[in-house]
Every structure is written in structure tokens, then in C-alpha cells.
Amino acid sequence: MNFLALSYAGVTVQEYRQIKEIQSEVRMPQKIQNKLQTAHRLNTEQIKLQLLDRNITYITINDEDYPVLLKEIHDPPYILYLKGELSLLNRPMLGIVGSRKATRYTSESLETIIPDLKNLSVVSGLAYGADEIAHKLCLLHEVPVIGVLAFGHDFHYPKSTYNLRTRMEKSNLTISEYPPHASIQKWRFIARNRIIAGLSYGVLVTEAEEKSGSLVTLEMAMNENRNTYCLPGNITSMLSKGTNARIQEGAEIVLSSDDILKDYL
């Protein structure tokens, strides 16, 4: 099965699962049959040259370099496109997420935690707010860092993290499950969260409102039997209501990097 061709033909993770289960092309839904016909017509050698020209590599779910933990989740991506240092995927990983409205509390807390994470790879989503803070501090303290994109490498959102992403791709790593031409769509940001959770041994949430995408990522991590961590917050802060509630429900309270690192020994 040519994963690169399937990806460029627009075959989704769910459709790939159907292809594996059904096997017989004639019994597949017409939409999948059409995509398979497109895949058969693609010149994958030309695609590989285009990727090489962009300094983008890829790995498939059958490759030895594919992250073991990510393969274990319910719907792992069958292909990952990478720009930067592939070896960072071989390190134990910690996801760090939080509110796009992150306050100084996130910055100051991560400033005390991140310098101690040099033996890990930190994973986040290059979003505005907590993600951006985590990525910047990792670069500042030379902690390996991975950015998970919710679109193809030819695009970027938000603009405020573009320069940060460019710096990361020089000595660290960005990854996407989508080919470079895949545009920005809202549903892909939700799908991106499962990759952050799936790559990581544990996920830390810094600040989050009661209804937050960060808490969705934490829930995904919990569903995959990963460690879940939260910073405790001021009970009067809207941005701590989500994290404090998750601590009550069983997420581990993080007062220092030791509360995380003990699980990575």
C-alpha cells in the first residue's frame, strides 16, 4: 500500500481503516474508490522530489522510526510529514498545552519547569498563548521541542507563531499528518490534539477554562492511559477553573518539574 499516494489523494485516517478492513476495492464506498483511483494515477517519485525540495521528509505507520506510543492510539495517522530533526521522535515526550489567553502565571510556571526537561522532547501545537510560551522557553533553554501542525507545511496559523516555527524547523521539529498542500480547516485543529496526546507519555495543562481545547487534549491523553498533569490555580481565576476541576477528578497536581520527571525515570 502506497501511503504517500493515499495521503495525496486525500484518504483520511478513517477511510484508511476502512480500506484495511474491507480490502476488496469493489466493495468500498464510492468516495473511497474514487480516491484510490486518484492515488493510482499519482506519480509518487515526483511527489518525493517536491518534498525534498521543501526539506520535508515523511514516515509511515509501518516504518521503524514511527513513534511507538502514537501507533497505540485508536486512530493513529498512517503517515507523518516532518521538517527538522527526526530523532526528536525517539525521545520520551511531554505534551504541554494551555489557554490561548494564557497569563503570566503560565510563563512564570513554565520558566521554572522547562529548563529541567532537557532529557525529554516537549510537544505542543504552535498555537497562540500557552503553546507559544512553551515553544519559546524550550528554544531559550535548549530543550528539544516538537510542534504539531493542524495543516500542511505550506500553510501556517496563527501568524504570530510563524517566526517561532521557522526557528524550530532549523534545529528541532515540526510534524503534520497532512500533505504540504492541505489547507487550514477548523476540524483539523481538533484532530491535531490526539497526536499531541498520542505522542506523549503525559500531558501538562497550564491554564484552562471550564470548556477548553486543552482539556480535550488532556481527556484524550487520559483515554490513552497517559499521565495527566495540571498546574493548580487561583480559585477566582476563570483560567484555572478547568485545571482545578481536573485535579479534583484525578489529574496530578504539578508544583515543580519533579512531579513530572518522576514518571519518566
Count of Cβ atoms closer than 10 Å to residue 26 Cβ:
6
**Whole-model pTM?**
0.95
The answer regarding whether domain 86-264 maps to CATH 3.30.470.20 reads no
pLDDT value of residue 28 = 86
pLDDT value of residue 24 = 73
β-sheet with 252-253: strand ranges across: 57-60, 79-84, 173-176, 145-148, 121-124, 93-97, 202-205, 227-230, 252-253
Domain boundaries, the chain: 1-53, 86-264
- Tens-place pLDDT, residues 13-47: 999 999 988 877 678 899 999 999 999 999 999 99
